Chains A and B, each alone.
Chain A
Amino acid sequence: MMRRLLAVMSLVSSIAFPIASAAGQGALSTQGFGFPPGQFSTRVLATGGGMAQFDPDTPLNPAAIALSSDPRMFLQYEPEFRKVTLGSAQSTTLTSRFPVGAASVPVGTHATVGVAISTLLDRSSTTLTSHDQQVGGEVVTITESTKILGAINDVRLAAAYGFGPKFQIGIAGHVFTGQNRVIFTQTFPDTLNFTNISQTSTLGFTGFAASAGVLIRPSRNIGFGFSGQKGARIEAKTSDSVVSKADIPDRLSAGVSFEGIPGTSLSAHASRSLWSRMNGLGSSDATAIDTWEAGGGIESLGPRVLSRQTVLRVGARYRTLPFTADGNEVKELSFAGGVGAQFFRNRATFDVSLERAARSTNGTTEGARERAYVLSFGLRVRP
């Protein structure tokens, strides 16, 4: 009876190993490599991004740190409350971020160096879905959970020089780093006969870029800011193996600030980012497009409260998000307002802002909508 047979392998179905991607993370804003918070400080966020070129705590224009005459540190906390609607289905989410941290110190009387860490793309999301599928001759309900944590962050080292109150320049080097951890599980109601699947993959990023900027103030009432970033190579790695390569987006930005009204500053900015340079870093499902962004706002002295001068801010911003949803461009229109005040003999400044953003799209994903409230808390100290 005991005899060895040659095993005859009869494959009943085809055997293939498609590489799975988590292209969409269930929301319009978290497609592809995730949502770009904008790298704005709380103050800039409240002015619709209008102050982006002039704010030392916003790591976009390296020339802006030349405006700081004292050492300074800044940290920002920014929870986003989001509601995703698709037809009758709704999800509410809460994403906590620390999107910007910055520090700078003057060097001599005209120069300043600074380091800043900011979130370029935040991919944090979770989806939970279920569907029926035939497995081993039996139709079963499969529940799939995809949890993605992590972001690509921008670490910037900048140096700036002020030739005087009318002209400042700055340059910076950027290292883009971070991780995306994807935790995927497939569970079955019958755990006796089926084995649940759990896959965890960690994607690490390393990329580089350089940026430069200039601030020009031809008169006391008006100022202009220009900055640009040239992206170099970014690599995605899994366990030291490079799985994909692309380029960090190039960016050109311009801003204007008008202080002709006493106690009030009007500002506006526009920016063009070539996110399509990131295509190839992800799968073909993660399509990035070049985007425009424009916004403006007002910053004005507010009432004195407890002998402290407050600053009030309002603004609006429009932009397109870098990653398409099922091939469709995602647009965002937001309105913001905020307040700031100084404490501890004016050595600390605390800013609060609230932004309401509406995100929408056309085409096959037209039914999907997103509404978000972004609370932002910024604390700036001068040690």
Chain B
Amino acid sequence: MELISARLKLAGLVILTAISAACTEKLDNSAGCPILCPDQGGEIETVTLDAVSLDSTVSALTGQGTETSLFLANRGDTLDSRAVIRFDSIPARFVKPGSDTTSFEIQPDSVVLRMIVDTVGGKIPGAVTLDLYDVDTNAADSLVAPVAALFRSDRLIVSTTLEKTALKDTIRVTLPPATIGGRKLQRLRIGIRARSTGSVQFRLLSQEGATTPTQLTYRVSPDTTVSKVTLNPYSKTPANQPIIANALADYTLLVKGTPVGPPTTLNIGGLPASRVYMRFIVPSFLIDSVDVVRATLLLTQLPNSGLDATDTVRIIPNVSLAAVAVTDLAKAAQITALGSTDTLKVEPGGSGVRSAEVASIVGIWRFQKETDTPRAIILVSTREGQSPLEGRFYSIEASPDRRPRLRISYSTRKSTGLP
């Protein structure tokens, strides 16, 4: 009897094991393919369309001071870009922290301007000298020439030379104490120009590109036990426009930009920066009725023999979100969303057909009503406003073989579920 009971338990265990093992389905019959599973996927068709109905180079219109880095360049007659950093609230007195609430007149000492350098894509031939000028003026904030004119010897605050190896990460420039002492309850606006033995170009991180990359610090008395004062860039003008004023806490002062490309071409990048607006008319079935596998914007590049013709400019397609009510293309080109993570890399001096992948943008178009939001792509340089590099392409006014085209690959499969 005990033997039978043991066998029954064993049989029960086997059955339970089989049942539990059989609870997880495994349905892969792939070994029978393709004979036993034909015509599963359908074909992928490719069409190339002259789908661009309107294209134009427009100003990047990035607001002054909104750039994520301050572009410093001194390249002779071809490019001159400087930086302005504003400290519009210089305190006159100091109150010690703690119970002693008495204040005393600030006697500035050990004044240091700290900045963060980004040399990626820079041109640094050797030791770099930074000239810091007092560029405070009552001229309108949007004007360049009155500010540029203040970069003169009688306004020079200090010059400091940094070896090439020292020009990385954080740099500190010591300023004369009088720079602060003479501006109590006033404002200090520092203009920065770089120079070197040859063409020089690099960037300083701005307030918009990093968290307080620039700071002005100084001691308030000879007593070293009293902590330092730290000032961040701050602008009081334009008055009553705090957003613009905040952007102008630090900004790039473009004194001489790159040559503007031909008006008949599509120009992306450069200084001042430009971008390209392209509007499309795409057969509705490609948007609504099929699964788009790949969409490629085919552009024919023409060489730009200007600055750094062999460097690489990266162009990223954005999707336009501007409604039909926005008739100004330059403004419409600002209302965008990132539509693709893939960048088109070109050398400004290059030529030939270039491909920008825009499948994700075509996917976004599916959710846009064309009568409300025109189907448009904005081509933007990833270093817009921070790099002189400019890619140039033929527009729809060029000969048919050079015009922008849209190549779309799509699946023809429409499944009903029927075998």
Of the candidates A2, A16, A285, which one forms a contact with B38 in the assembled complex, judged by CB atoms under 8 Å apart? A285
User: Given contacts A26-B29, A186-B41, is CB(A286)–CB(B22) below 8 Å?
Assistant: no
Q: Is the pair A3, B397 in contact by a Cβ cutoff of 8 Å?
A: yes
Q: Is the pair A126, B29 in contact by a Cβ cutoff of 8 Å?
A: yes
Q: In the assembly, what is the distance between CA of A266 and CA of B332, in Å?
A: 85
Q: Is the pair A27, B342 in contact by a Cβ cutoff of 8 Å?
A: no
Q: Is the pair A12, B35 in contact by a Cβ cutoff of 8 Å?
A: no
Q: Is the pair B412, A84 in contact by a Cβ cutoff of 8 Å?
A: no
Q: Is the pair A352, B30 in contact by a Cβ cutoff of 8 Å?
A: no
**B61: interface (CB < 8 Å):** no
Of the candidates B30, B409, B414, which one forms a contact with A135 in the assembled complex, judged by CB atoms under 8 Å apart? B409
Across-interface contacts of A281 in B (CB, < 8 A): 418
* 27 contacting pairs across A/B (C-beta < 8 A): A1-B263, A5-B53, A7-B49, A15-B285, A19-B418, A21-B39, A24-B37, A24-B38, A25-B29, A26-B32, A26-B36, A27-B36, A28-B32, A31-B36, A86-B35, A91-B31, A128-B30, A129-B34, A129-B37, A144-B41, A181-B417, A182-B415, A193-B342, A193-B359, A203-B418, A281-B418, A326-B38
Give the 10 A-B CB pairs with smallest separation, nearest first: A26-B29, A79-B22, A203-B417, A91-B31, A201-B417, A7-B281, A26-B32, A89-B31, A286-B419, A126-B27
Q: Is the pair A1, B395 in contact by a Cβ cutoff of 8 Å?
A: yes
Q: In the assembly, what is the distance between CA of A21 and CA of B414, in Å?
A: 9
Q: In the assembly, what is the distance between CA of A223 and CA of B39, in Å?
A: 49
Across-interface contacts of B28 in A (CB, < 8 A): 26, 91, 93, 126-128
**B62: interface (CB < 8 Å):** no
CB distance from B264 to the nearest CB of A (A): 6
CB distance from A192 to the nearest CB of B (A): 5
Q: In the assembly, what is the distance between CA of A368 and CA of B31, in Å?
A: 9
Q: Is the pair A94, B36 in contact by a Cβ cutoff of 8 Å?
A: no
Q: Is the pair B263, A186 in contact by a Cβ cutoff of 8 Å?
A: no
Give chain A's interface residue range (CB within 8 Å of chain B): 35 or more
Who on chain A is nearest to B286 by CB? A15
Of the candidates A10, A18, A367, A375, which one forms a contact with B42 in the assembled complex, judged by CB atoms under 8 Å apart? A18
Q: Is the pair A188, B48 in contact by a Cβ cutoff of 8 Å?
A: no
Q: Is the pair B294, A95 in contact by a Cβ cutoff of 8 Å?
A: no
User: Given contacts A7-B53, A144-B40, is CB(A184)–CB(B419) below 8 Å?
Assistant: no
Across-interface contacts of A192 in B (CB, < 8 A): 341-342, 357
CB distance from A330 to the nearest CB of B (A): 10
Of the candidates B51, B363, B396, which one forms a contact with A195 in the assembled complex, judged by CB atoms under 8 Å apart? B363
Across-interface contacts of B342 in A (CB, < 8 A): 192-193
Contact with A along B8-30 (1 / 0, CB 8 A): 10000001001100111111111
CB distance from A88 to the nearest CB of B (A): 9
Q: In the assembly, what is the distance between CA of A201 and CA of B417, in Å?
A: 5
CB distance from A165 to the nearest CB of B (A): 35
Across-interface contacts of A94 in B (CB, < 8 A): 22, 24-27
**A261: interface (CB < 8 Å):** no
Q: In the assembly, what is the distance between CA of A1 and CA of B398, in Å?
A: 11
Q: Is the pair B24, A10 in contact by a Cβ cutoff of 8 Å?
A: no
CB distance from A21 to the nearest CB of B (A): 6
**B407: interface (CB < 8 Å):** yes
Across-interface contacts of B39 in A (CB, < 8 A): 20-21, 23, 285
Across-interface contacts of B33 in A (CB, < 8 A): 24, 26, 127, 129
Of the candidates B35, B40, B54, which one forms a contact with A20 in the assembled complex, judged by CB atoms under 8 Å apart? B40
Q: Is the pair A20, B419 in contact by a Cβ cutoff of 8 Å?
A: no
Q: Is the pair A26, B37 in contact by a Cβ cutoff of 8 Å?
A: yes
**A108: interface (CB < 8 Å):** no
Q: In the assembly, what is the distance between CA of A156 and CA of B360, in Å?
A: 50
Contact with A along B276-308 (1 / 0, CB 8 A): 000011010100011111101000000000000
**A90: interface (CB < 8 Å):** yes
CB distance from A29 to the nearest CB of B (A): 9
CB distance from A97 to the nearest CB of B (A): 10
Of the candidates A13, A24, A375, which one forms a contact with B36 in the assembled complex, judged by CB atoms under 8 Å apart? A24
Q: Is the pair A135, B37 in contact by a Cβ cutoff of 8 Å?
A: no
Q: In the assembly, what is the distance between CA of A17 and CA of B280, in Å?
A: 24
**B416: interface (CB < 8 Å):** yes
Who on chain B is nearest to A81 by CB? B22
Q: Which A residues between 1 and 51 are near B, CB-CB below 8 angstroms?
A: 1-28, 30-33
User: Given contacts A195-B363, A368-B36, is CB(A136)–CB(B409) below 8 Å?
Assistant: yes
Across-interface contacts of A375 in B (CB, < 8 A): 18, 22
**B246: interface (CB < 8 Å):** no
Across-interface contacts of B5 in A (CB, < 8 A): 306
**A221: interface (CB < 8 Å):** no
Across-interface contacts of A90 in B (CB, < 8 A): 31
Across-interface contacts of A93 in B (CB, < 8 A): 26-29
Q: A5-B52, A144-B40 are in contact. List 12 more A-B contacts (CB 8 A).
A: A12-B48, A17-B412, A18-B43, A20-B40, A24-B33, A127-B29, A128-B30, A135-B46, A136-B407, A184-B41, A364-B35, A368-B35
Q: In the assembly, what is the distance between CA of A136 and CA of B411, in Å?
A: 12
Q: Is the pair B36, A12 in contact by a Cβ cutoff of 8 Å?
A: no
Across-interface contacts of B45 in A (CB, < 8 A): 13-16
Contact with A along B45-70 (1 / 0, CB 8 A): 11111111111110000000000000
Across-interface contacts of B167 in A (CB, < 8 A): none
Q: Is the pair A193, B30 in contact by a Cβ cutoff of 8 Å?
A: no
User: Given contacts A94-B25, A128-B30, A197-B293, is CB(A23)–CB(B18) below 8 Å?
Assistant: no
Q: Is the pair A195, B360 in contact by a Cβ cutoff of 8 Å?
A: yes
Contact with B along A266-305 (1 / 0, CB 8 A): 0000000000000001110110000000000000000001
Q: Is the pair B47, A13 in contact by a Cβ cutoff of 8 Å?
A: yes
Most chain A CB inside 10 Å of its own CB: which residue of B4, B41, B417: B417
Q: Is the pair A199, B291 in contact by a Cβ cutoff of 8 Å?
A: yes
Across-interface contacts of A194 in B (CB, < 8 A): 293-294, 359
Across-interface contacts of B229 in A (CB, < 8 A): none
Q: Which A residues between 64 and 116 are near B, CB-CB below 8 angstroms?
A: 77, 79, 81, 84-86, 89-96
**B95: interface (CB < 8 Å):** no
Across-interface contacts of B285 in A (CB, < 8 A): 15
Contact with A along B379-419 (1 / 0, CB 8 A): 00000000000000001110000000001010111111111
**B92: interface (CB < 8 Å):** no
Q: Is the pair A136, B46 in contact by a Cβ cutoff of 8 Å?
A: yes
Q: Is the pair B23, A2 in contact by a Cβ cutoff of 8 Å?
A: no
